[in-house]
Chain A
Amino acid sequence: MSDTEPTSAPQEETPSVSRRGLLGLFGAGAAGAAVGFAGGAAAVGAAMSSASASVSGAGSAASSYAFYGMHQAGITTPAQDRLHFAAFDVDASLDREGLIELLTDWTNAAARLSQGLDVEEGGAVGGSDYAPPADTGEAQGLPAAGLTLTFGFGPGIFEDASGADRFGLASRRPPELAPLPRFQGDALEPARTGGDLCIQACADDPQVAVHAIRNLSRIAFGRATLRWSQLGFGRTSSTSTAQATPRNLFGFKDGTANVKAEETDVVDEQVWVAESDGPAWMAGGSYLVARRIRMIIENWDRVQLGEQEMLVGRSKGEGAPLSGGTEFTEPDFEAEGATGAPLIDTNAHVRLAHSSNNNGARMLRRGYNFVDGNDELGRLDAGLFFLSFQRSPQQFIDIQMSLATDGLNEYLKHVGSAIFAVPGGVSEGEFVGQKLFA
């Protein structure tokens, strides 16, 4: 896919394009593997070379990612530091044509924003003195900051609350795009749950991410309105082997065993919807699960270190599995201590969540820490805004079901939840999700 070429920068090197991928963790059909590998490699190449294109080389703040490509950006892209995620309800008056117009307007704006440009020509200060500026202006002078904008469709696009097929899309609904079942620890608030459309804005500068959501929301007035939105201030997962593993608000490294962009075979196996999976419009796309997980951190902070590590199944400092080794050592769930008890507790998070406990299912996690002020009891309204991309929502469902006995649940409350079908990438001249309407 030539469209996945970076907008700038020669590709002098594509480091570790497939360092892990070549190990062939998963076998795949020959044809599928070839196609998938090409796509994955191009995506990684784009990510790597544009990051290395930053003038100083000191950080990724100056880099930009291609908006057009085989897959939408913001999935295997190395997780940026900041997030603004927005879920929208489509207005009652919106029809199919209006929805297409909205997606077209969003696509055009997103293509510009992701390159560090104003939302449209003229922008923040170049227009008439007697009209509100087209761009809200707070990103003037800021670089693209690695901004990616990723769009998804919620179940309501295919069938609204009253069961109506408003956009003539019901026949194209993937069977997988169903409301998630009820899980242990669910205390979902309707105002933080669901949504017909979503936009994930990730950037290394929070102002850039917020600017994008603000302007895209403004474009949608009269067609779609914000249902809920979430800021994330620190990534909790790494999606590239080039990134260090960050920590969540429990103070533990999170996402050590995450699917990484460089593992192209795994990405194809676990993240991208294959053409053979159907429906055709979802090829190259993924399913996105968003969960606002409140952490009762005040209680957690009173838990003894040993118990914290036992609940997680990893050491708090290094992040190594309690069965021994270093961070990236595979956990040995059979290993027993002197008393004959397993070194990794039977209810430890790492055991229950591990692919070996879930028929090989993994997810590409892209979550962010959040703190939204405090509650009425004086506790921080803090937690993990969990985002995962997977080839099928069943991967998330299976793993989340396994976590029913997770000892961490005592300190967690799932207050928001949503699922979206994220279509494949956009080619220049197309709008995002165009194949859905073809």
Chain B
Amino acid sequence: MTRRALAASVAVTALTALTLTGCVAKADLAQAIGVDITDDGCAVAVDTAPAGAVTFALENNGTEVNEFEILADDKLRIVGEKENVTPGQQVDFTAQLEPGTYYTACKFQQVGAPVGLAEFTVTGEASTVSSGEQELSDQAVTEYLAYVRSQTSELLPLVQEFADAYKAGDDETARSLFAAARVPYERIEPTAEAFGDLDPKIDFREVDAVADGLEWTGFHRIEKDLWAPQPGDLNSDGQDALKGWAPSTPEERTAYAEGLVADVTELHELVTDESFSVGLADISNGAIALLDEVASGKITGEEDWWSGTDLSDFAANVQGAGVAFGAVRPLAESKGDEGTELAAEIDEQFAALEAELAKYGSLEEGFVNYSELTDADKKALSDQVNALAEPLSQLTATVLGV
């Protein structure tokens, strides 16, 4: 994933706890809870609030950029977050919170461990919706949850096989397995991104890891060993690809291979845990975020810089978005003509994008290397991504009816 994708995932996570609460009147947002952000503190004025739209009035009194987070009771899953709160800035942030236990925290310089972790209790009744809608909503959640779980189940053995080949130094086999091993992950990427630091470990690109000061691990670290750069090759940011990089030693290979397997195993355990669920907005926003992934990372060929397998990720993102859309489609269609028309428009644009992609291969047969596409080919794909992303960006509001 890309830095931009990480930002996009905020849109997803910010609504994690959102359900069909109906329209939130702006006046309800008036009673904001003060949050005094400092470099080493995160003082929330009160530690409880009634369920619904909860507004926090953030003020960064520190010296560096900060971030405010609301974590679920596992202290891992980010339920809502506001990034880029700059020194001196005052900004309101609203989260839709169901009754339960949460934790508030800040993130100094937006990296590292949460600062000032504090329990936050949301009281009152869970929101209710009419039974017809509730049924459709439940169905969507059940359907999508099952999909996410099926994908991590698929992911595990594929990654294991891929990592084993890489660890054993069988690069040819590993190269042949790389694209396919990523597919289940790319289909559900926004879900993985909701687990804070897991996605960076699994899927960060070199330039982003360097920029964030993180140790670079995961798929793309391995990718660079498998498609090793030649002298004179450049990274996607135009820097010398050999600078600060050397082929991994056998020991490092073992560590990266086992690390990747451990991380996807953790992902699998997290999503298959019975306490894990997704909200309706997670699903529709997940579809939107997957298209954002395509528009920001894949269309530029930056995702799989060394292997050139971007189109495989591209297709997987589109498939995942299609499944997420499919899960909430009945709900969208229940919202009158506007919903029906939107669903029809999205269907049409999905079909057009899939047709455009099919010119270059398929997930089953493999895709051409991204470097073989001309600028005109890329523009045609980009145009179609935009054509789909515009109506898709309306999906959440339509599904929620707000």
Does A91 sit at the interface, judged by CB under 8 A?
Answer: yes
CB distance from B392 to the nearest CB of A (A): 10
Say whether, besides A128-B402, A129-B402, A130-B400, A225 and B386 are in contact (CB < 8 Å): yes
Partner of A131, one of B379, B380, B388, B396: B396
Cα of A225 to Cα of B386 in the assembled complex, Å: 10
* B387 neighbours in A (Cβ, 8 Å): 91, 221-223
Residue of A whose beta carbon sits closest to that of B18: A130
Which residues of chain A are near B397, meaning CB under 8 Å? 127-128, 130-131
A129–B390 CA distance with the chains assembled, in angstroms? 16
State the CA gap A91–B356 with chains docked (Å).
13
- Shortest C-beta distance, A29 to chain B (Å), equals 48
- Docked-complex contact A132 and B394, CB < 8 angstroms: yes
Q: Output the least CB separation between A128 and chain B (Å).
A: 4
Contacting pair A225 B379 (CB below 8 A): yes
Q: Does B349 contact A (CB under 8 A)?
A: yes
Among B288-330, those with CB < 8 Å from A are none
Q: Which chain B residues lie closer than 8 Å to A92 at the CB level?
A: 380
B402 adjacent to A130 (CB under 8 Å): yes
CA distance in complex: A225, B378 (Å): 13
CB pair B349 A130 closer than 8 Å = no
What is the CA–CA distance of A92 and B384 in the complex, to the nearest angstrom? 10
Give the residues from 126 to 185 in chain A that come closer than 8 angstroms, CB to CB, to chain B.
127-132
A56 within 8 A of B: no
Chain A residues, Cβ within 8 Å of B402: 128-130
Is B383 interfacial (CB-CB < 8 Å)? yes
The secondary-structure label for the interface of chain A is: loop
B-contact 0/1 string along A215-256, CB 8 Å cutoff: 000100111010000000000000000000000000000000
Which residues of the partner chain B approach A222 to less than 8 Å between Cβ atoms? 349, 383-384, 386-388, 390
Q: Report chain A residues within 8 Å CB of B388.
A: 222
CB-CB under 8 A from A339, the residues of chain B are none
* A218–B391 alpha-carbon span in the complex (Å): 11
Q: Which residues of B contact A132 (CB under 8 A)?
A: 393-394
Interface contact B393-A130, CB-CB below 8 Å? no
Bound form: Cα–Cα A132–B391 in Å: 10
Binary contact readout A97-130 vs B (1 if CB under 8 angstroms, 0 otherwise)? 0000000000000000000000000000001111
- The reply to whether B383 and A91 form a contact with Cβ atoms under 8 Å apart is yes
- A93 proximal to B (CB < 8 A): yes
B380 to A, closest residue via Cβ: A92
Residues in chain B near residue A223, CB distance under 8 A: 387
Q: Which of A199-222 contact B (CB under 8 A)?
A: 218, 221-222
Q: Which of B379, B384, B393 has the most CB of A within 10 A?
A: B384
Say whether A218 contacts B383, CB under 8 Å.
Answer: no
> Which residues of A have CB within 8 Å of B15?
130
As a 0/1 sequence over residues 16 to 49 of chain B, the CB contacts with chain A under 8 angstroms (1 = contact) are 0000000010000000000000000000000000
Question: Is B368 at the interface (CB under 8 A from chain A)?
Answer: no
Partner of A221, one of B352, B380, B386, B398: B386
Looking at the assembled complex, report how far the CB atom of B127 sits from the nearest CB atom of chain A, in whole angstroms. Answer: 15
A218 and B394 contact, CB distance less than 8 A: no
Residues of A within 8 A of B352 (CB): 93
With A91-B383, A222-B349, A225-B383 as contacts: A131 and B390 at CB distance below 8 Å = no
Is B287's CB within 8 Å of the partner chain A? Answer: no
Q: Is B5 an interface position by the 8 A CB rule?
A: no
Once the chains bind, are A131 and B394 in contact (CB under 8 Å)?
A: yes
In the bound assembly, the distance between CA atoms of A132 and B402 in angstroms comes to 12
Bound CA–CA A222/B390 (angstroms)? 9
| Complex Cα spacing A218 to B387, Å | 9
Bound-state Cα–Cα, A385 to B53, Å: 51
Query: Is B281's beta carbon under 8 Å from chain A?
Result: yes
Which residue of chain B has the shortest Cβ distance to A91 in the bound complex?
Answer: B383
Closest Cβ of chain A to B324, distance in Å, is 15
* Chain B residues with CB under 8 A of A218: 390
- Are A130 and B386 closer than 8 Å at their CB atoms? no
- Return A125 CB to nearest CB of chain B, in Å: 10
Provide the residues of chain B in CB contact with A130, threshold 8 Å: 15, 281, 396-397, 400, 402
Question: Who on chain B is nearest to A131 by CB?
Answer: B397
How far is it, in angstroms, between the C-alpha of A319 and the C-alpha of B24 when the chains are bound? 63
What is the minimal beta-carbon distance from B19 to any residue of chain A, in angstroms?
12
- Residues in A whose Cβ lies below 8 Å from that of B94: 129
Indicate the member of A92, A128, A129, A223 with the most B CB atoms within 10 Å: A129
Shortest distance from the beta carbon of B110 to any chain A beta carbon, whole Å? 24
A93: chain B residues at CB < 8 Å are 352
Kindly provide the distance from the CB of A215 to the nearest chain B CB, expressed in whole angstroms: 12
Once bound together, how far apart are the Cα atoms of A223 and B386, in whole Å? 10
Max chain A C-beta neighbours (<10 A), residue from B383, B384, B394, B397 = B383
Please indicate the chain B residues that have their CB under 8 angstroms from the CB of A221 in the complex: 383, 386-387, 389-390
Beta-carbon contact of A131 and B393 below 8 Å: yes
Evaluate contact between A129 and B393: CB separation under 8 angstroms. no
| Nearest opposing residue in chain B for A222, CB measure | B387
CA distance A131 to B288 in the complex (A): 11
Chain B residue nearest to A217 in the complex (CB): B386
Q: How far is the CB of B230 from chain A (nearest CB, A)?
A: 26
Instruction: Tell me the smallest distance from the CB of A104 to a CB of chain B, in Å.
Output: 16
CB A363 to nearest CB in B, in angstroms, measures 33
List chain A residues, Cβ under 8 A from B24.
129
| Chain A residues within 8 Å of B349, by CB | 222
Closest to A128 in B: B397
Interface residues of B in 331-372 (CB under 8 A from A): 349, 352
Q: How far is the CB of B309 from chain A (nearest CB, A)?
A: 26
Complex Cα spacing A131 to B24, Å: 14
Bound-state CA distance A329–B394 (Å) is: 60
Interface centre among A91, A93, A221, A222 (most CB of B within 10 A): A222
Please give, as numbers and ranges, the residues of chain B lying within 8 Å of A127 by CB-CB distance. 397
CA distance A223 to B393 in the complex (A): 17
Among residues of A, the one whose C-beta sits closest to the C-beta of B15 is A130
Complex-state Cα separation, A91 to B380, whole angstroms: 9
User: Please, which residue of chain A has its CB at the minimum distance from the CB of B400?
Assistant: A130
Q: A132-B393, A221-B389 are in contact. List 19 more A-B contacts (CB 8 A).
A: A91-B387, A92-B380, A127-B397, A128-B397, A129-B24, A129-B94, A130-B15, A131-B397, A131-B398, A221-B383, A221-B386, A221-B387, A221-B390, A222-B349, A222-B383, A222-B384, A222-B390, A223-B387, A225-B383
What are 17 A-B pairs at a CB distance below 8 A?
A91-B387, A92-B380, A93-B352, A127-B397, A129-B94, A130-B15, A130-B396, A131-B393, A131-B394, A221-B383, A221-B386, A221-B387, A221-B389, A222-B384, A222-B387, A222-B390, A223-B387
The 7 closest A-B pairs by CB, nearest first: A222-B387, A131-B397, A128-B397, A130-B397, A221-B386, A130-B396, A221-B390
State the B residues within 8 Å of A (CB): 15, 24, 94, 281, 349, 352, 379-380, 383-384, 386-390, 393-394, 396-398, 400, 402
Interface residues of A (CB under 8 A from B): 91-93, 127-132, 218, 221-223, 225
